[in-house]
Amino acid sequence: MILLDAVFINNSGGKVLLDYLVSEINSAGLDCFYLFDARCKGDYEFIAADRKIFMKGSLAERHRFYRQRGKQFDKVFCFGNLPPTLRLKAKVFTYFHNVSLLSYPSTYGLKEKVLKTIKGRLITFLSRNTDYFIVQTNEVKALLAQKGVKADKVIVAPFYYVAQCNGNGSRQESFVFISNGNTHKNHKNLLQAWRMLAERSMFPELHLTVTGNYSELVNTIEAYRNMGLKLVNHGFVNAYDLYSQHKYLVYPSLCESFGLGLIEAVKCGCDVVASDLPYVFEVVNPTLVFDPMEPRSIADSIEQILKGDHLKSTTLVVENKIKEIVDYLK
């Protein structure tokens, strides 16, 4: 029997990928038991009750589960970055998709840095308990190598799910950045760039999706809007609706394990203006890039688009390897 351990995965891109993976495992008819995060309770109704547990996101609870039931499984797939706390007889795969646990921007506050460092060291310590790490990009593979994980223990196998999107309709000559308000998403420099554009008498429209739990950032967006900048903050919204309505994705994030939003945008017909960082080029060939640490560089790239320069269209370069991942579990 297979165990899919998805404790700690309950929202954002990780949840999108989890739903896709569960669907593919179910379609393949694999003999699988599921360990889900309690915050997902109510989801996955199509899975029999005796084939799933919804568990509190707790290291202690997870450890207790492995002690009591770990011997039941032939293969284990840990989807929440963290290998088991015990060495099992089963073959163990750990899908690692949170690069900020290995490397984070200098813009992080002290509390964020301490928490990320502790979690990163825990993953390094537990790496002895997994046979393989599966990662989304060669950049993440290199970061794991810096932590002492041998190259032959790391498999690069990205996968992604993008729903049907109307990419052929008419769209506004405007920009969208669909993201939460985490520090590494770099809204601060993006907003400063928009202020610089206003100083150049340019007022492009920017659509954001920052929710109320990032109250300080929401207030900053409102303050800039009151200064005359064309900013629209939708909060939580269907991403595909925005992608299909606007022409450009601007993506200033300082670090990503994969950048699922880049794929979603291109699949929906957007061109991408993004950070000049390796994670971008692992996924797309962007229309333009900028230095994400320099608001002026971001503003210059947006100005280049607004002036109507002849620019290339963005193309997708990543391959979806979901079938390969399911094959590892057979």
What pLDDT score was predicted for residue 275?
A: 97
Residues 280, 151 share a domain: no
For a pLDDT cut of 90, what percent of the chain falls above it?
68
SS3 category, 101: helix
Residue 203, C-beta contacts closer than 8 angstroms, at least 6 positions apart:
197, 228, 229, 230
Average confidence (pLDDT) over 24-44: 95
Residues 6, 113 share a domain: yes
Cβ–Cβ under 8 Å, residues 240 and 265? no
Average confidence (pLDDT) over 175-182: 93
What pLDDT score was predicted for residue 124?
A: 74
- Does pLDDT of 14 surpass 70? yes
Average confidence (pLDDT) over 161-165: 79
Residues 247, 119 share a domain: no
Domain boundary among 129, 156, 183: 156
> CA 312 to CA 266: how far, in whole Å?
13
Average confidence (pLDDT) over 99-123: 66
For a pLDDT cut of 70, what percent of the chain falls above it?
92
- If you search the block for the tokens 């970061």, which residue do you land on? 143
Residue 257 covered by a domain: yes
Name the residue with higher pLDDT: 22 or 172. Answer: 22
> CA 136 to CA 318: how far, in whole Å?
10
Average confidence (pLDDT) over 36-61: 94
Residues 208, 69 share a domain: no
> CA 123 to CA 125: how far, in whole Å?
5
Residue 199 binned pLDDT confidence (cut-offs 50, 70, 90): very high
What pLDDT score was predicted for residue 168?
A: 63
The first and second tokens of residue 173, run together, are 């000559």
What pLDDT score was predicted for residue 117?
A: 67
What pLDDT score was predicted for residue 116?
A: 61
pTM of the model: 0.79
Residues 302, 201 share a domain: yes
Domain boundary among 156, 186, 215: 156
Distances in whole angstroms, Cα of residue 103 to Cα of each of 3, 125, 215, 256: 29, 16, 26, 10
Residue 220 CA from chain centroid, whole number: 24
Q: What burial class does residue 198 get, using C-beta atoms within 10 Å of its C-beta: 0-12 exposed, 13-18 middle, 19+ buried? A: middle
Q: Which of 127, 91, 66, 83 is nearest to 1 (CA)?
A: 91
Per-residue pLDDT reduced to its tens digit, 63-89: 999 999 999 999 999 998 889 999 999
- Does pLDDT of 329 surpass 90? yes
Give whichever of 158-172, 187-201, 230-244 has the largest mean pLDDT: 187-201
What pLDDT score was predicted for residue 318?
A: 92
How high is the mean pLDDT of the chain?
90
Residue 120 binned pLDDT confidence (cut-offs 50, 70, 90): low
Low-confidence winner among 77-81, 90-94, 121-125 (lowest mean pLDDT):
121-125
Residue 229 covered by a domain: yes
- Domain harbouring 87, CATH code: 3.40.50.2000
Residue 282 covered by a domain: yes
Cβ–Cβ under 8 Å, residues 194 and 276? no
State the greatest distance between any 2 C-alpha atoms of the chain, in Å, as a whole number: 66
Residue 234 binned pLDDT confidence (cut-offs 50, 70, 90): very high
What pLDDT score was predicted for residue 257?
A: 78
Cβ–Cβ under 8 Å, residues 51 and 29? no
Helix (H) or strand (E) holding 281: helix 278-281
Name the residue with higher pLDDT: 126 or 244. Answer: 244
Residue 260 CA from chain centroid, whole number: 5
What pLDDT score was predicted for residue 119?
A: 67
Structure letter (DSSP) for residue 265:
H
- Does pLDDT of 301 surpass 80? yes
Residues 182, 128 share a domain: no
Q: Which of 270, 277, 273, 283 is nearest to 316 (CA)?
A: 283
The first and second tokens of residue 46, run together, are 């199509």
Residue 321 covered by a domain: no
Residues 211, 77 share a domain: no
SS3 category, 177: strand
Residues 208, 143 share a domain: no
What pLDDT score was predicted for residue 43?
A: 94
What is the full DSSP assignment across 182-205? Answer: -GGG-HHHHHHHHHHHHHTT----
Sequence letter at residue 236: F
Low-confidence winner among 177-181, 187-191, 229-233, 308-312 (lowest mean pLDDT):
308-312
Full domain range(s) for residue 42: 2-156
Residue 6 CA from chain centroid, whole number: 15
Dump strand ranges (E) for the chain.
2-6, 32-37, 52-55, 75-78, 91-95, 132-135, 154-156, 172-177, 206-208, 231-233, 246-251, 271-275, 284-285, 288-290, 315-316
Counted residue by residue, the chain has a size of 330
What pLDDT score was predicted for residue 121?
A: 73
Low-confidence winner among 3-7, 53-57, 148-152 (lowest mean pLDDT):
148-152
Name the residue with higher pLDDT: 174 or 111. Answer: 174
